[in-house]
Amino acid sequence: MTILKLKAAQKDYLWGGKNLVEKFNKETNLDKLAETWEISAHKDGVSQIENGEYQGKLFTEYLKDMGNQVIGKNYNKDRFPILNKFIDAQDNLSIQVHPDDEYGLSHENDYGKTEMWYVIDAKPGSYLYYGLNKEVSKEEFTQAIDQGSFLDLLNKVEVKKGDVFFIEAGTIHAIGSGILIYEVQQNSNITYRVYDYKRRDKDGNERELHVDKAIEVSNLSVNKTYNFENDNEINDNLKRLVKSDYFDVLKGQISDEIYNINEDSFQALTIIDGRGTIQMGEESLEFTKGDSFFLPAQNGKYKIEGNGEFILSMLP
């Protein structure tokens, strides 16, 4: 089956910057490029196919025609499982939280959202918010929001290139300014904003908050500590970043390695640095920093030649 090269959907949220254009070869007419949805079948931003039989068509058209076997031989859900994106935070993102599947499906007719972040780059002193710094009751949490002391409850973490965060549904979080991230998440777009620095949109209106829903779904305990590095790896050249019920994410060095793929899962590949070629059988595609590919589930091998680094994601 053909390797698909994907063109990302683009988002111009007010906190975005220029890094994805200047450093990751993204072309855009937007004033700010906050996110590129690299591998996406979500209705709010679908990737487009750039090569092969489906060139110029949406990724969702390909998935509809091919069926779930290109996702995985045992995959039986009604939508593509993940959404992968670059995030360029020139300014702070809102303090937010995402629901789990049960709440999302019953209240929003959409799945919940567990996600992971790999920090590609960060300016010195950059930080993000990741959960709470102490356990609180729902009443204490609500009172802190009402009294304006909410930020005092958050776990503030200074970050650097290479840091990894696993954000389970229900975890209060926010990316701070000066951080460039690659994210793998559930295929969902539900976000409940708790706090947004009283910012206004292009029409001069304060952005909508969703405090009541956020209080319902937030985990008010201190975050667990995760270490996925000791899990079994699928290739000596790959380092596991996160493995959850929703996705398995690894980072690899580009060094003329051969990789296996099988019928159990697709593999989604994004180049975060360098350039080279990806080859499967007689097919060879060039890539450069910022390119993304979808390899359908199949029994076979492929080779990545060149230099740099990539992120690989698949079913767990």
Any idea which residues carry the catalytic annotation?
A: 193
Nearest to 92 by CA among 59, 130, 67, 126: 126
Region label for 250, one of left (φ > 0), alpha (ψ between -120 and 50) or beta (otherwise): beta
Locus of tokens 């008010």: 220
Q: Which residues make beta-bridge pairs with 303?
A: 258, 279
Instruction: Determine the 3-state secondary structure of 150 from DSSP.
Output: helix
Instruction: Determine the 3-state secondary structure of 167 from DSSP.
Output: strand
* Residue 35 parent element (H or E): strand 35-39
CB atoms within 10 A of CB 114: 23
Backbone angles phi, psi at 95, to 5 degrees: -75, 125
292-295 and 248-253 strand pairing: unpaired
* Structure tokens given for 119: 């920090």
Nearest to 188 by CA among 105, 249, 270, 89: 105
CB of 18 within 8 A of CB of 27? no
**How far is the C-alpha of 149 from the C-alpha of 127, rounded, in Å?**
19
